Amino acid sequence: MKSEVQDLIDKINKQRPKMSKGQRAISDYIIANYDKAAFMTAAKLGKTVGVSESTVSRYAMQLGYDGYPELQKAFQRLIKNKLTTIQRMELSSEQSNADILKNVLKTDINNIRTTLDNIDDDAFERIVEKICSAENVYLLGQRSAATTIQFMGYYLNFLMPNVHVITSGVSDIVEQLSHIGKGDVLVTLSFPRYARRVVDGAEYAKKRGAEVAVITDSEYSPLVPYADHVLYARSDMTSFVDSLVAPMSLVNAILIAVSVAKKQETMDNLANLETIWRDYGVYKSKDDKLFEE
């Protein structure tokens, strides 16, 4: 499988015969320094190479991008698994608060739209079916992805009794997966920078004969080689904060699809839970003094 870097180089080389001298200079710099270009404005890249800002913009469009900002995001995707939190912070450090608000919301909207446009419906169906039929459902996620996995586990526990959530603990992940095997499914989620132990867990589950369902960002993810089923969710960064809006939307869809597939069991479980919640005062009610004042 070719790397994302090689894909970009191939795209550049394909257009090279049509490029001007200045554009070829940009190409040479990008191929050697795409990690630096990820942090450069069009003006700064042009100054570094010795061409105008407009030449840089035209160069991006010649490669098939809408403009330089889109090309810059492509650079950032190439290196996002290598970026430290400090380097990620640099991506947003020069923006005003108003720009940050708009850019974050626009990025999240675009992440969901791109995820929807490229979703594998068959893979989605297979993951839902496997969760419904599995003897045990293991959910694995660490670091920032742990919250999404915990959310998934919280609601799946409403629907079935065989859910095991693994995010962290005193024991190693493979120890917590020691009973996984044939008939079970591991649902795992990880995005750049990929958590090493999550990849180890997927590899271990695969060796044990369990099916592995993966939610990740691209075919280049280290989780993909161990996956039986893969759903891709865009997670473009806007700073040191990981954008998990699109992955969370996929998790929401899986939860709802599972509840529909197990409708009667879901209704029975929810009816039982409603009784428990009422008897133990889990939620505020109109009978509470707060509502009488």
Residue 159 domain-assigned (yes or no): yes
Residue 266 domain-assigned (yes or no): no
pLDDT of 170 over the 60 cut: no
pLDDT band at 41 (very low <50, low <70, confident <90, very high): confident
Residue 183 domain-assigned (yes or no): yes
Q: What's the mean pLDDT in 80-95?
A: 57
- Claim to verify: residue 122 and residue 73 sit in the same structural domain: no
Q: Are 58 and 29 in contact (CB under 8 A)?
A: no
- Given this model, what pLDDT does residue 144 score? 81
Domain of residue 50, residue span: 1-79
- Given this model, what pLDDT does residue 86 score? 56
25-38 confidence digits (pLDDT tens): 998 888 888 777 87
Cα gap 53→58, rounded to integer Å? 9
pTM of the model: 0.70
236-245 confidence digits (pLDDT tens): 765 566 778 9
Q: What's the mean pLDDT in 164-188?
A: 88
Residue 277 domain-assigned (yes or no): no
243-281 confidence digits (pLDDT tens): 789 999 999 999 999 999 999 998 998 899 889 988 888
Find the CATH number of the domain harbouring 142.
Answer: 3.40.50.10490
Cα gap 60→28, rounded to integer Å? 14
Q: Are 232 and 111 in contact (CB under 8 A)?
A: no
- Sheet containing strand 163-166, edge to edge, reads 163-166, 137-140, 185-189, 211-216, 229-232
pLDDT band at 139 (very low <50, low <70, confident <90, very high): very high
- Claim to verify: residue 236 and residue 176 sit in the same structural domain: yes
- Given this model, what pLDDT does residue 81 score? 58
- Claim to verify: residue 226 and residue 120 sit in the same structural domain: yes
Average pLDDT of the chain is 85
pLDDT of 146 over the 60 cut: yes
Q: What is the DSSP letter of 185?
A: E
* Structure token digits, residue 10: 């191939």
- Claim to verify: residue 133 and residue 228 sit in the same structural domain: yes
- Claim to verify: residue 131 and residue 54 sit in the same structural domain: no
pLDDT of 104 over the 90 cut: no
- Claim to verify: residue 154 and residue 244 sit in the same structural domain: yes
- Given this model, what pLDDT does residue 289 score? 59
Residue 163 domain-assigned (yes or no): yes
CA distances in angstroms from 143 to 3, 150, 168, 185, 291, listed in the order given: 25, 11, 9, 21, 40
Nearest residue to 134 (alpha-carbon basis) of 185, 186, 204: 185
Residue 76 burial class via C-beta count within 10 angstroms: exposed 0-12, middle 13-18, buried 19 and up: buried
- Given this model, what pLDDT does residue 271 score? 92
- E-assigned strands of 80-132? none
Cα gap 36→182, rounded to integer Å? 46
187-235 confidence digits (pLDDT tens): 999 988 788 899 999 999 999 999 999 999 888 889 999 999 999 998 8
- Given this model, what pLDDT does residue 293 score? 46
What percentage of the chain carries pLDDT values higher than 90? 42
- Given this model, what pLDDT does residue 136 score? 97
- Given this model, what pLDDT does residue 1 score? 45
- Claim to verify: residue 138 and residue 220 sit in the same structural domain: yes
Q: How many domains does the chain have?
A: 2
* Structure token digits, residue 82: 């290598």
Residue 126 domain-assigned (yes or no): yes
Find the CATH number of the domain harbouring 60.
Answer: 1.10.10.10
- Claim to verify: residue 131 and residue 254 sit in the same structural domain: yes
- Given this model, what pLDDT does residue 82 score? 59
- Claim to verify: residue 179 and residue 56 sit in the same structural domain: no
- Claim to verify: residue 50 and residue 137 sit in the same structural domain: no
Cis peptide before 113 (omega within 30 of 0): no
- Claim to verify: residue 120 and residue 215 sit in the same structural domain: yes
Residue 129 domain-assigned (yes or no): yes
- Claim to verify: residue 121 and residue 256 sit in the same structural domain: yes
Residue 85 domain-assigned (yes or no): no
